[in-house]
Structure 1
Amino acid sequence: MEKQTRLVSWNCANGFAKKQDAFQALAPDLAIICEITQKDSELIENADVQWVGNFGAKGMALMGFNGWSLDRLHESADQHVLTAVASRGEHRLTLVGVWTLPVKSNYIRPIISALDQVSSLLTGDVILAGDFNANPVWKTKPSFEDARTRLLDLGLTSLWHERSGEPHGGESMPTLFWKWNETNPFHIDYIFATEGLRERCCGMTIGTYQEWVGSKISDHVPLIADFDLG
């Protein structure tokens, strides 16, 4: 039986080249890294990397390690939503990375627009994860709940919320500490997955302020999910 497959989703807050050791210590098989430059994404050894963004600026990267390869499927017009097929041996899943920048002052529009564009590609096992810059505590139009409804229609549910039983907007574990301040916590990073993958998820954790933010690695903490793919 193969070892578990680990997904890491993390906004590295730029400067990834200096943070590789902390990231690699998480032992990812698949990763979604936000706020990473193309130059830094090319420094990753022994990885299959797909990057999206504007040249010279921060973007987002999908990464495959330990035999996982990535075939780019679709890059959404609004930044940044990138869809790829991840495969290793007989295992295959669709991986969608998200790091949204606002469209008309709204972080949800790029997600809904991307789902309109790629919904026909989201078949079989699907993971959609990253930094949404959104939570239902902020009342916007379109709203976070509008995006979540679309995700639910596609069979995608947040792993953290399903496993913890916590409601969206009532999370006990933040993923962002605004301005690196422990007193400004928000939950804006997510891992959504289809039912088959949720059933095979054997653990999910969220990093802590002390390890990641207090140590000045990033203002975001990583989300880590392990899957038993057999």
Structure 2
Amino acid sequence: MAFRKKYKHILPFDPDLLIVSECEHPDKFSDKFYDDVLWIGDNRNKGLGVFSFNDFEISIHESYCKNYRYILPVTVNGSEAMNLIAVWSQNNIEDPGRRYIGEVWKSLNYYKDLFRFPTVIAGDFNWNVIWDQGNQKYPLYGTLTDVINLLEQFDIFSMYHTFTNTEFGIEREPTLYFRKNRKTPYHIDYIFAPSDLVARGKSFSVGKYEDWTSLSDHMPLMAELE
């Protein structure tokens, strides 16, 4: 939250595309530090923002379904054209089967026709496979394992797990320190990309606790592609 106070820490990395969960409405920014921005949300202090830089053009994909409120399909035009699905998964009290990764599962099945074109899926999934066998009283419509298997059918893979040759569930770099507590680390944020884009990846990194916890309990994920 309060991204207007934090964005200058990101700019030295010269992003082309930036996904920010719990992002305030762009009207709250005093500077236009980006080329373009898309924002969705019910709370002007806490929505989902996608920013573009370096002449990348972004627009909400015509397939966007408000039923999947914070899973946003985006058309990207830059050096190459592609789709981007920005993710901020949340709890769902009205339909517990759709909470967190259950919502991601349903939305990606809805949007899977987009995967016929190069598509990156990235953001805060709020989930790890270690919770896939959780509360059976309110079973999820789909788990992270189901999401991974779905994306693999379209040759889409997690960049972190590919770059580090790590299995899901035993990640060494946390993406969240819950309430900024170093004793409660979790890996719950992801960037999935088609295998040919992953193969063209130059670097992939997860922000470090000591560098970022003054700003957020989530660490930034940074992917650099050829």
Please classify the TM superposition score into its range, dividing by the shorter chain length: 0.7 to 0.9
Residue 53 (structure 1) aligned with residue 41 (structure 2) = yes
- Runs of 5+ unmatched residues, structure 1: 1-13
Q: How far has the Cα of 1:205 moved from its partner?
A: 0.6
Q: How has the CA–CA distance of structure 1 residues 120 and 209 changed in structure 2, closer, same or farther, with 3 Å as cutoff?
A: same
Q: How has the CA–CA distance of structure 1 residues 98 and 16 changed in structure 2, closer, same or farther, with 3 Å as cutoff?
A: same
CA distance in 2, matches of 1:125, 1:159: 15
Residue 101 (structure 1) aligned with residue 90 (structure 2) = yes
Q: How does 1:183-198 map to 2 (within 5 A)?
A: 183-198=183-198
Structure 1 residue aligned with 2:156: 156
Structure 2 residue aligned with 1:210: 210
Q: How far has the Cα of 1:227 moved from its partner?
A: 0.6
Q: How far has the Cα of 1:59 moved from its partner?
A: 1.1
Q: How has the CA–CA distance of structure 1 residues 151 and 48 changed in structure 2, closer, same or farther, with 3 Å as cutoff?
A: same
CA distance in 2, matches of 1:227, 1:47: 20
Contact kept? 1:201, 1:227, Cα under 8 Å = yes
CA distance in 2, matches of 1:68, 1:123: 21
CA distance in 2, matches of 1:81, 1:41: 23
Contact kept? 1:83, 1:97, Cα under 8 Å = yes
Residue 81 (structure 1) aligned with residue 71 (structure 2) = yes
Give the structure-2-normalised TM-score. Answer: 0.88
2:215 partner letter: I
RMSD: 1.6
Give the structure-1-normalised TM-score. Answer: 0.86
Contact kept? 2:23, 2:49, Cα under 8 Å = yes
Q: How has the CA–CA distance of structure 1 residues 113 and 160 changed in structure 2, closer, same or farther, with 3 Å as cutoff?
A: same
Residue 26 (structure 1) aligned with residue 13 (structure 2) = yes
1:32 partner letter: I
- Runs of 5+ unmatched residues, structure 2: 135-139
CA distance in 1, matches of 2:108, 2:207: 28
Q: How has the CA–CA distance of structure 1 residues 84 and 69 changed in structure 2, closer, same or farther, with 3 Å as cutoff?
A: same
Deviations 1:106-154 (A, max 9, x none): 2112111211221112223211000000001113433211121112222
**3-state SS in 2 of match to 1:150:** helix
Q: How far has the Cα of 1:85 moved from its partner?
A: 1.2
Structure 1 residue aligned with 2:137: none
**3-state SS in 1 of match to 2:129:** coil
Contact kept? 1:79, 1:99, Cα under 8 Å = no
Deviations 1:3-53 (A, max 9, x none): xxxxxxxxxxx0101001112122111111111021346854332111111
**3-state SS in 2 of match to 1:46:** coil
The structure carrying a bigger strand percent of its residues is 1
Q: How many residues are paired up?
A: 212
Structure 1 residue aligned with 2:223: 225
CA distance in 1, matches of 2:194, 2:110: 18
Percent identity, aligned pairs only, is 28
**3-state SS in 2 of match to 1:83:** strand
Residue 35 (structure 1) aligned with residue 22 (structure 2) = yes
